[in-house]
């Protein structure tokens, strides 16, 4: 298994939506991540904040997949992506130093 990183930022359209309209999709995204972790997928997910701890910078998801093609296929099932709320990219990540996780 290899490690991959998905980096995402809200599209201009998504950023202009009231929170009430974004919230159901954000909650669906969180459930998707939680369900995948509960099913055994190794991952870490979170959102980015600025120097004042204010969100809005986007999100980061680090996860395992058997190949780049499998990583793309899995990520495309993310409710945020299916709804077109984020611009995103996936790259393989090759850890070279550090300890512990992953």
pLDDT over threshold 70, residue 36? yes
Q: What is the CATH number of the domain that holds 87?
A: 3.30.70.1060
Q: Calculate Rg over the CA atoms of the chain.
A: 14
Give the chain's domain count: 1
Mean pLDDT of the 26-33 span: 95
Domain that holds residue 35: 2-93
> Token pair for residue 19?
């929170």
pLDDT over threshold 90, residue 49? no
Q: Which residues lie below 8 Å from residue 88, measured CB to CB, with a gap of 6+?
A: 6, 7, 8, 9, 75, 81
Confidence of residue 101 (pLDDT cuts 50, 70, 90): low
**Residue 69, in any domain of the structure:** yes
> Token pair for residue 13?
């359209």
**Residue 63, in any domain of the structure:** yes
**What is residue 31's predicted lDDT score, i.e. its pLDDT?**
97
pTM of the model: 0.86
**Residue 14, in any domain of the structure:** yes
pLDDT over threshold 90, residue 19? no
**Residue 99, in any domain of the structure:** no
Choice between 71 and 57, residue whose per-residue pLDDT is larger: 71
**What is residue 100's predicted lDDT score, i.e. its pLDDT?**
66
**Residue 32, in any domain of the structure:** yes
**Residue 98, in any domain of the structure:** no
């Amino acid at each position: 298994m290899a490690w991959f990183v998905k980096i995402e930022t809200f599209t201009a359209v998504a950023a202009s939506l009231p929170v009430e309209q974004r919230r159901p999709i954000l909650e669906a995204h969180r459930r998707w991540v939680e369900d995948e972790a509960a099913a055994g997928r190794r991952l870490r997910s979170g959102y980015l904040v600025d120097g004042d701890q204010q969100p809005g910078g986007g999100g980061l998801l680090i996860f395992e997949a058997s190949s780049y093609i499998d990583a793309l296929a899995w990520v495309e099932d993310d409710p945020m992506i299916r709804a077109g709320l984020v611009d995103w990219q996936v790259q393989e990540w090759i850890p070279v130093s550090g300890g512990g996780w992953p």
